[in-house]
Amino acid sequence: MEKFYITTPLYYVNSKLHIGHTYTTVFSDVLNRFHKMRGVDTFFLTGSDEHGQKIFEAATAAGKSPQALADENVQYFKELWKLLNVDYDKFIRTTDAEHENRVGMILQKLYDKGYIYSGKYEAYQCVPCESFWNEKQLEEGKCPSCGGEVNWVDEENYFFSMSKFLPVLQKKLAEDPGLIKPRLRHKEIMGKIKDSMEDKSVSRAHFDWGIKLPFDPEQVCYVWFDAILNYITAIGYPENMEEFNRFWPSDLHVIGKDILWFHTLFWYSILEALDLPLPTVYAHGFWLMKGGKMSKRSGMVIDPFELADKYGIDSLRYFLVSGLPEGLDTEFSEERLVEKFNNELVNIVSNTLHRTLTMLEKYLDGKLLDEIEYGEMEEALKAKFTQYHEEYESAFKQMRLPKAIGAVIDYLREVNAYINDAAPFRTGKNDLKRTSAILYTVLESLRLTAIMLYPVIPDTADKILNKLKYKWDFTSDGHLEWGQLKTDELLEKGEPIFMRLKEE
Ligand code: MSP
């Protein structure tokens, strides 16, 4: 059976999440649902990053223990994902005993192989990013990831011999550019390899909120080393290799562009050291606030709970995944959210359905005739469906969600043009056979579009399919074949599935 293993980053538990984090998770959920509805054996992992100096400092400032702060925010993360219909299979916490034990085993394994050794550590540290850099990596003396201040640290540490693996990686990445997506991110990383050719410290001695090194309990594991291992510990490595081999290599690590270096050069070298095959990483762009970066530190954030409350869950999911073009940064705007919702989900999806069911009630008392005779116009529309469906599938497989969603909406635009040309409002009761064939063609098109939109707006898809009395378990393949809508049910128009939104 085909499988699909997808992950999100583990979010730091020092504070609440904003619309940027929400985007990464919803985007991953949409991709996961797309594969799941094709009958694929999917596994969707998300979770929380709980160790390290940044969390320790945030907890101390709030007068709490790091564990208490983590517990509180994990609860909040889970509530948010539940509200937004994020259907993950596992939520991993880096403080889970299972993860901690497995990280300990991996550290020991690398130490035994001679890939972890002790030495003196000197680097520029960026506490908010939990990152360490050498002189060359700094950009105008600042952290290359967030542009913030860095400070100098030196202590006795353990090092991971990353430099040993980078030449091999360089070759592999040149041969297989598809490992890092989209293309511009692959290019970015290829340009960074030469400045990364040095070993990386993987332990800390000056604080103890972390996983103790099995070979030196005076030191704790560097938080990025601990957290990045979650993608393999969550599925059993190194204890349960049967489960692990079922899903590894993962199919996709979805991340934001800010943590690309860690998820490629750093992560890939660890995998090389463990003799594990490399997975694909997809780095998306950023949602910006007017004129700047959205960040917890600057206080410029948009609260996902607030937005969901104002505009609804599916409108938020829809806007997030259709509104950020591949690889690019875009400004978040409620005005655009409302406009997109009204133009596409209300004017096109909801109105087409309501209008058609109204005609069905009016001319055929809500019941289609059993026999459907297709004419030329219907055959042409079916051919268009095949074409848009292919476009949708191919865009989805390339993670081009705005394009995939665009293909569905464009198809519905064609359906509306077909309604105008075929004119069931003219054939009406005079030619019931013809009217029924036209309405069937439209309702079948709506069934297909509801299924295509299901990964993005699952509740709405469910509502549409309920109105069409179409039963489906959302996890089996074959529902995107034309002609599966039954004609033996009484369909009622009821209330429209969406009303127009106003910006609040
Ligand atoms: N804990 C690390 C990740 C460890 S993974 C082993 C971390 N956490 S984070 O809480 O800071 O979340 C970072 C991720 O949130 C980014 O990589 C990105 O996916 C997402 N985003 C944060 N701000 C964002 C925007 N403004 N826009 C889009 N996504 C953004 O880094």
Of 489, 466, 268, 492, the C-alpha closest to 370 is 489
Please give the C-alpha separations between residue 354 and each of 208, 264, 407, 467, in angstroms, as whole numbers.
61, 48, 21, 10
Burial 32-49 (b: 16+ CB within 10 A, else e): bbbbbbbebebbbbbbbb
Whole-model pTM: value is 0.95
User: What CATH number does domain 333-467 carry, 1.10.730.10, 2.30.38.10, 3.30.420.280, 3.40.50.300?
Assistant: 1.10.730.10
* Mean pLDDT within 413-428: 98
Phi, psi angles (nearest 5°) of residue 158: -105, 145
The per-residue pLDDT for 196 is 83
Cβ pair 155, 162 in contact under 8 A: no
Give the position, in ligand 1's atom list, of the atom nearest the Cα of 230.
6
How far apart (Å, rounded) are the C-alpha atoms in residues 20 and 38? Answer: 28
pLDDT confidence tier of residue 298, bands split at 50, 70 and 90 = low
Render pLDDT for 7-59 as a digit per residue (tens, 0 to 9): 999 999 999 999 999 999 999 999 999 999 999 999 999 999 999 999 999 99
Q: How far is the CA of 227 from the centre of ligand 1 (A)?
A: 13
CATH number assigned to the domain covering 3-114+165-194+223-301: 3.40.50.620
Q: Is the pLDDT of residue 299 over 70?
A: no
Q: Is the pLDDT of residue 326 over 90?
A: no
Render pLDDT for 354-384 as a digit per residue (tens, 0 to 9): 999 999 999 999 999 999 999 999 999 999 9
Q: Is the pLDDT of residue 154 over 70?
A: yes
* Mean pLDDT within 273-300: 85
How far apart (Å, rounded) are the C-alpha atoms in residues 297 and 311? Answer: 26
Q: What is the mean pLDDT of the chain?
A: 95
Domain boundaries, the chain: 3-114+165-194+223-301, 333-467
> What SS3 class is residue 61?
helix
Q: Is the pLDDT of residue 504 over 80?
A: no
The per-residue pLDDT for 446 is 98
Phi, psi angles (nearest 5°) of residue 302: -120, 130
Q: How far is the CA of 9 from the centre of ligand 1 (A)?
A: 7
The per-residue pLDDT for 289 is 85
The per-residue pLDDT for 440 is 98
| Percent share of the chain, pLDDT over 70 | 99
Which residue's C-alpha comes closest to atom 15 of ligand 1? Answer: 21
* Ligand 1 pocket mutation pick from 10, 45, 93, 258 by most atoms within 8 angstroms of CB: 258
Q: Is the pLDDT of residue 203 over 90?
A: yes
pLDDT confidence tier of residue 197, bands split at 50, 70 and 90 = confident
Q: How far is the CA of 340 from the centre of ligand 1 (A)?
A: 25
What residues are paired with 330 via a beta bridge? 287
Q: How far is the CA of 27 from the centre of ligand 1 (A)?
A: 13
Same-fold call for 3-114+165-194+223-301 versus 333-467: no
Which residue's C-alpha comes closest to atom 29 of ligand 1? Answer: 20
Which residue's C-alpha comes closest to atom 17 of ligand 1? Answer: 256
pLDDT confidence tier of residue 473, bands split at 50, 70 and 90 = confident
Of 287, 480, 324, 341, the C-alpha closest to 400 is 324
| Percent share of the chain, pLDDT over 90 | 88
* Pocket residues: Cβ below 6 A from ligand 1: 9-12, 20-21, 23-24, 49, 227-228, 230, 255-256, 258-259, 286-287, 294
Q: Is the pLDDT of residue 245 over 70?
A: yes
Collect all residues with Cβ–Cβ distance below 8 Å to 73 and sequence separation of at least 6: 13, 14, 15, 16, 48
Which residue's C-alpha comes closest to atom 8 of ligand 1? Answer: 11
CA angle 187, 188, 194 (to 5 degrees): 100
* Mean pLDDT within 269-277: 98
pLDDT confidence tier of residue 350, bands split at 50, 70 and 90 = very high
pLDDT confidence tier of residue 1, bands split at 50, 70 and 90 = confident
Q: Is 63 exposed, middle or buried (0-12, 13-18, 19+ CB in 10 A)?
A: exposed
The per-residue pLDDT for 209 is 96
Q: How far is the CA of 481 from the centre of ligand 1 (A)?
A: 38
Phi, psi angles (nearest 5°) of residue 48: -135, 145
* Ligand 1 pocket mutation pick from 24, 25, 69, 260 by most atoms within 8 angstroms of CB: 24
How far apart (Å, rounded) are the C-alpha atoms in residues 164 and 184? Answer: 26
